Amino acid sequence: MARPPTPRRPLRPAPPSGPFDDRPLERLRSTAVATRYKQPNAINGVSIGLVVLVAATAWLGLSVWPVIATNSNIKNELNDALPRVYRANLRDEPGATVETTRLHDELEAKIRALGVDDGKLAVEIARNQKSVSIEVRYHAIVHFMGLQKTRLVALHPRVETDAARVEW
């Protein structure tokens, strides 16, 4: 006994003709049913790779965080001292140099109190008629957690402002 042929799956009805009645555009309309793809597993190689990447980034961030925090605190001290250097720059020369030297010594003491123990710490205050700037040059050591490795990094936080007198 012969089995009757199985009927083919019916095609979707064609959408109603709209403003595009040209023959080339009719070929672009799809009447086939969408293909179903196999869903990936919840845990696969990409998921594991992303977890490893996030963990490595967190480990690096936690290892470098003390150096970043110290550098930020130093930059805050420089920003606090910059208006005083600006005012000292507006003074006449003998007083301006004395005030700048005093500010240099204060800044160096504050930076050492923040935890910078570099022997080559340099605080540079530059001033002229157009601009006033303060820059600190020092080296910090990054200790990588879990590894017995360290890395020496050179940091140079700098702040600068215009030195022109403000006329109101």
Q: What is the domain partition of the chain in residue ranges? A: 66-162
Give the amino acid at 9: R
Tell me the HSE value of 95 on the side-chain side, using a 13 A CA sphere.
8
pLDDT digits (tens, 9 = 90+) for 133-150: 999 999 999 999 888 899
Mean pLDDT estimate for the chain: 85
- Say whether pTM exceeds 0.85: no
**pLDDT grade for 32, boundaries at 50, 70 and 90:** low
Tokens representing 117 are 């123990």
CA–CA gap between residue 43 and residue 10 (Å, rounded) = 38
pLDDT digits (tens, 9 = 90+) for 94-139: 888 999 999 999 999 999 999 888 889 999 999 888 899 999 999 9
Helix (H, G, I), strand (E, B) or coil at 78: helix
Task: List, in sequence order, the alpha helices (H) in 29-160.
Answer: 45-90, 93-113
CA–CA gap between residue 106 and residue 77 (Å, rounded) = 10
User: What per-residue confidence (pLDDT) applies to 56?
Assistant: 94
CA–CA gap between residue 135 and residue 157 (Å, rounded) = 6
Element (H, E) at 27: helix 23-28
